[in-house]
Structure 1
Amino acid sequence: MTLWQQITLSTIPWSQWRQKSLLGQWIGLIQAWQRGSILWPWVQGLGGALAGLILILAPFVPSGMIGVVLLAGVLFWGLWTVSTAPENRFTPIHALVALYWSIAVVATAFSPVKAAAFQGLIKLSLYMGFFALAERVMRSPKWRSGLITIYLLTALVVSIYGVRQWIFGADALATWTDPQSELANTTRVYSYLGNPNLLAGYLLPAIPLSLAAVFAWRGWLPKLLGGVMLGLNTSSLIFTFSRGGWLGLVVSLSTLSLLLLYWLLPRLPRIWQFWAFPALLGGLAVLVVAAIILVPAIRGRVLSIFAERSDSSNNFRINVWAAVQEMIRDRPILGIGPGNEAFNKVYPLYQRPGFTALSAYSIFLELLVEAGAIGFAAFVWFLLTTLTRGWQTLNHLREMRHPDGFWLMAALATMLGMLTHGLVDTIWYRPEVATLWWLMIAVVASYPAFSQARPLTNPDAEV
């Protein structure tokens, strides 16, 4: 047993924990109900339909309506859980999600704005409930692919409208570009989401998943559809001119490229097994540098990252971050409680004149503000554990050459891309993006552990 295995909870006998835990005793409490239920044979389909409905509605309807469907999904998952025979599928990811939620409860109890923090706790609970529902549904490979396909088809509609805005123009609904910059009159698309940064965050998972679909889907027509999705999603995200979105895109595609090469490495000639990674990294670097040098619009946006306070967007964020750091220093242990409502109550006491903000404009600062050092440490622990489990599962699937590994690679790459985007923005606290973050976590958690995996046969293992 290594120290890392202990840190990532890889050696804990979760089946024994479930048997002895008071919480675990609720699993399967009323399983006798299923024997007389007409709907029980369709339970996984109903759960999948609810999760799919959330993914379909997210970019098109108000947040309140999404919240209602999320609540329905959480209640359905609760009924499903207490009605199902106990299974040994509780993972370290579930444990650390529960730990962070518990810390958020305590932070709410000690919040200086308890009513506002309680609203944030409700939202956080709904998102985590969506994770639990999606993970339960996606234990079936068929439903894993199905939910991902639902999101990709929805994102395709969003991307098509975004590309249309780029071609025909779109009115800016706010001042999204520094009026003094050379890109002041550039169209920044926002599709149905009303904000280019939010659109970039929404489309970011669609790009690695589209590329994964090219490999995972069977038949040339589905693969062609995956290629079309990849092109439209990438184009629409680029046309948002979201610098954070671009950084997330570079990180996610670079990560996925490296994972795909790792997946294919055993089938490459020996000489390429040595040179493949240096060649790929060099090629990616050349591609990024060429885009910056040769495309003026990209060059302008990238250079603005280093303009510090001379760029109005940079200046705004720097002032917000300075105020947020003071908030963290005043409540370093448990923060002010979860949610933007709590932030909006407390931030005005610290803000610089003229720099109002609805969030910390960095998910890492936001976590420190909301749940303090304790919550932030739990989140980092959760991330490390999730990435470790994902890597272990990927190696297992790689040995079997099982095509479900492509969805896992895309989910891991998306996580790193969303975290990169989150360095300079907090759009993933919006339901359109938050549900996708938890969907990626659910993808990673939905694969069985090695000891629980049944032997899989894969006659189409040429990839």
Structure 2
Amino acid sequence: MTSAWKRITLVQLSPSQWRGASWLYHLVGSLKDWHSASWLLQWAEPLGAALVCVVLALSPFVSTSLIGILLAACAGYWLLLTLSEQDWACITPIHLLVLLYWGIATVAVAFSPVKAAAFEGWIKLTLYLVMFALMARVLRSSRLTSLIVSVYLLVALVVSVYGVRQQLSGVEQLATWNDPLSDLAGTTRVYSYLGNPNLLASYLLPAIALSAAALFVWQGWLQKTLAMTMLLVNTACLYYTQSRGGWIGVMVLSLVFLLLLYYWYKDSLPPFWQKWLLPIVLGTLAAFLLIAMMFVDPLRIRVMSIFAGREDSSNNFRMNVWGSVIKMIKAYPIIGIGPGNEAFNKVYPLFMHPKYSALSAYSIFLETTVETGVIGFTCFLWLLVVTINQGVRQIKDLRQQANLQGFWLIAAVATMAGMLAHGCVDTVWYRPQISTLWWLMLALIASRYQGVFSPNKKADQAYSTAQ
């Protein structure tokens, strides 16, 4: 059983085996002579980190078209580095599965009933995946990891503060986001700079996890106070979105974060706390939520609407969309209709229930299946299993080294769980503000793969421990 699990999770796979058999690998280093003579590329990783920071800093405030241009710039820079260097040590099993998924999506475009629309989605997917490759490269450095995470957290704090201000001052609702027949029909749902409460909730999930991790990584009372402020403001803003999917996501995120945090400190605890700390903490949180639901009417009404079935208009809408999407999957079961919401918007009207038009499947799992079929969905699940397994293994290794960078991995694994939970009932990953964060989490884990973490490993480990 253990041997089978290692094969499934690619633990024993050596990327050098793949490189030796890959014709693509022969393209790597074709511009190495130019690289060695270039002064600018002596700063390859910091320049890559700067590009990533620009994307994360601007994404909540600018149009998706401008974000696409920035992603294209990142893709061009990654290609330049790949062709000018022979070091492909950063290739991991996660990279190989990402490449496999991209290959499946490419085949899906070829067989798509709406090839032009699917090709547009394929271009966007390619940009996200190349962004992942660039981030996985630059995040090998602890210093650059701290820089990129800090930039995102500071930007997320600005977004959250504006969202809280909307709650306090009131803001015009841009759509009918609440059930018109609900007691909360006229209440405010904040959306900050992102224009949609569900989108804002998904954007804040990584911010909550990373700000919680910063409490342990950042040293000094000023930094810890900033991290605690970020955690409280981000959590408050997510609550004010009244996004039920976001609430589910943050609950799953918190549970996974606490479990991994308990694992990190378990051996240093007295025997009593090793046995009872986790039940006490989880029981206290459950009691707090129960009391909050009893005395906070908006919270109770929104939570109970989750279980209202078709009696809630939002639930009924999603159920009708899911039914139509399942029909689409049955019509294109093997390789799907091709990636992207443009392809979905072309095909969905042929299967939809009358009066239930939709821009997406409202479930990332259904969306993946309808885009790339059972083959792509299986690859997606395989990627999740391998990534989370690698994350847990690397947390174990960093824990043994007392390397505080392990807390970023705890946040990354917890964020993945939270975003997947939210993704069960929403499809917000089409938006680049969210997709870039999802791939940032995977890149954090891939960057810590054994043998690739930190080009200047000794210096970075010293830096991490000193923090």
CA distance change for structure 1 residues 135 and 452 in 2, over 3 Å: closer, same or farther? closer
Q: Distance in 1 between matches of 2:302 and 2:27?
A: 53
Provide the residue aligned with 1:158 in structure 2. 159
Q: Distance in 2 between matches of 1:208 and 1:89?
A: 25
Q: Is 1:213–1:223's contact at 8 Å kept on the other side of the alignment? A: yes
Provide the residue aligned with 2:301 in structure 1. 300
Q: Distance in 1 between matches of 2:424 and 2:33?
A: 48
Q: Where in structure 2 are the equivalents of 1:253-402 lying within 5 Å?
A: 253-402=254-403
By how many angstroms is 1:41 displaced?
1.7
Provide the residue aligned with 1:4 in structure 2. 5
Q: Is 1:19–1:25's contact at 8 Å kept on the other side of the alignment? A: no
Q: Is 1:396–1:450's contact at 8 Å kept on the other side of the alignment? A: no
Cα shift readout 1:8-46 (whole Å, capped 9, x = no counterpart): 111122123213311122222221111211211222121
Q: Where in structure 2 are the equivalents of 1:418-437 lying within 5 Å?
A: 418-437=419-438
Indicate the SS of the match to 2:429.
helix
By how many angstroms is 1:278 displaced?
2.2
Q: Distance in 1 between matches of 2:461 and 2:152?
A: 27
Provide the residue aligned with 1:414 in structure 2. 415
Structure 1: give runs of 5+ residues left out of the alignment: none
Provide the residue aligned with 1:47 in structure 2. 48
Q: Is 1:215–1:406's contact at 8 Å kept on the other side of the alignment? A: yes
- Greater Cα offset, 350-359 or 282-291: 282-291
Cα shift readout 1:407-443 (whole Å, capped 9, x = no counterpart): 0000000000000000000012211101000000000
Q: Is 2:394–2:448's contact at 8 Å kept on the other side of the alignment? A: yes
Provide the residue aligned with 2:247 in structure 1. 246
By how many angstroms is 1:457 displaced?
5.4
By how many angstroms is 1:458 displaced?
5.2
Provide the residue aligned with 1:231 in structure 2. 232
Provide the residue aligned with 1:201 in structure 2. 202
Cα shift readout 1:228-272 (whole Å, capped 9, x = no counterpart): 100110000100000000000111012111111111111110121
Q: Is 2:141–2:453's contact at 8 Å kept on the other side of the alignment? A: no
Q: Distance in 2 between matches of 1:107 and 1:180?
A: 42
1:113 and 2:114 are equivalent in the alignment:
yes
- Greater Cα offset, 182-191 or 287-296: 287-296
Provide the residue aligned with 1:214 in structure 2. 215
Q: Which amino acid aligns with 1:120?
A: G
CA distance change for structure 1 residues 242 and 451 in 2, over 3 Å: closer, same or farther? closer
By how many angstroms is 1:285 displaced?
2.1
**4+ aligned runs moved over 4 Å, structure 1:** 450-463
Indicate the SS of the match to 2:353.
coil
Q: Distance in 1 between matches of 2:260 and 2:99?
A: 29
Q: Which amino acid aligns with 2:140?
A: R
Q: Distance in 2 between matches of 1:103 and 1:462?
A: 44
- Please report the TM-score for the alignment, with normalisation by the length of structure 1: 0.97
By how many angstroms is 1:461 displaced?
5.6
Cα shift readout 1:268-300 (whole Å, capped 9, x = no counterpart): 101211222222332232232222222111100
1:104 and 2:105 are equivalent in the alignment:
yes
- Greater Cα offset, 208-217 or 442-451: 442-451
Q: Is 1:401–1:458's contact at 8 Å kept on the other side of the alignment? A: no
Indicate the SS of the match to 1:426.
coil
Q: Distance in 2 between matches of 1:104 and 1:316?
A: 28
CA distance change for structure 1 residues 459 and 240 in 2, over 3 Å: closer, same or farther? closer
Cα shift readout 1:148-189 (whole Å, capped 9, x = no counterpart): 111101101100100000000000000000111011111100
Provide the residue aligned with 1:147 in structure 2. 148
Pairwise CA RMSD: 1.6
Indicate the SS of the match to 1:425.
coil
Structure 2: give runs of 5+ residues left out of the alignment: none
Q: Distance in 2 between matches of 1:251 and 1:294?
A: 23
Q: Which amino acid aligns with 1:157?
A: V
Indicate the SS of the match to 2:43.
helix
CA distance change for structure 1 residues 396 and 450 in 2, over 3 Å: closer, same or farther? farther
By how many angstroms is 1:451 displaced?
8.9
Provide the residue aligned with 2:441 in structure 1. 440
Provide the residue aligned with 1:18 in structure 2. 19
Indicate the SS of the match to 2:44.
helix
Identity of aligned residues (%): 53
Q: Is 1:27–1:81's contact at 8 Å kept on the other side of the alignment? A: yes
Provide the residue aligned with 1:75 in structure 2. 76
- Greater Cα offset, 79-88 or 346-355: 79-88
Q: Which amino acid aligns with 2:279?
A: P
Indicate the SS of the match to 1:193.
coil
Q: Distance in 1 between matches of 2:288 and 2:424?
A: 23
By how many angstroms is 1:462 displaced?
10
Q: Is 2:140–2:452's contact at 8 Å kept on the other side of the alignment? A: no
Q: Which amino acid aligns with 2:199?
A: L
Q: Which amino acid aligns with 2:226?
A: L
By how many angstroms is 1:341 displaced?
0.3
Q: Which amino acid aligns with 1:386?
A: T
By how many angstroms is 1:75 displaced?
0.8
- Please report the TM-score for the alignment, with normalisation by the length of structure 2: 0.96
Q: Which amino acid aligns with 1:31?
A: K
Indicate the SS of the match to 1:377.
helix
Provide the residue aligned with 2:175 in structure 1. 174
Q: Which amino acid aligns with 2:434?
A: V
- Greater Cα offset, 346-355 or 34-43: 34-43
Q: Is 1:113–1:345's contact at 8 Å kept on the other side of the alignment? A: yes
- Greater Cα offset, 353-362 or 31-40: 31-40
Q: Distance in 2 between matches of 1:28 and 1:246?
A: 47
Q: Is 2:189–2:197's contact at 8 Å kept on the other side of the alignment? A: yes
Q: Distance in 2 between matches of 1:199 and 1:402?
A: 32
Q: Where in structure 2 are the equivalents of 1:121-132 lying within 5 Å?
A: 121-132=122-133
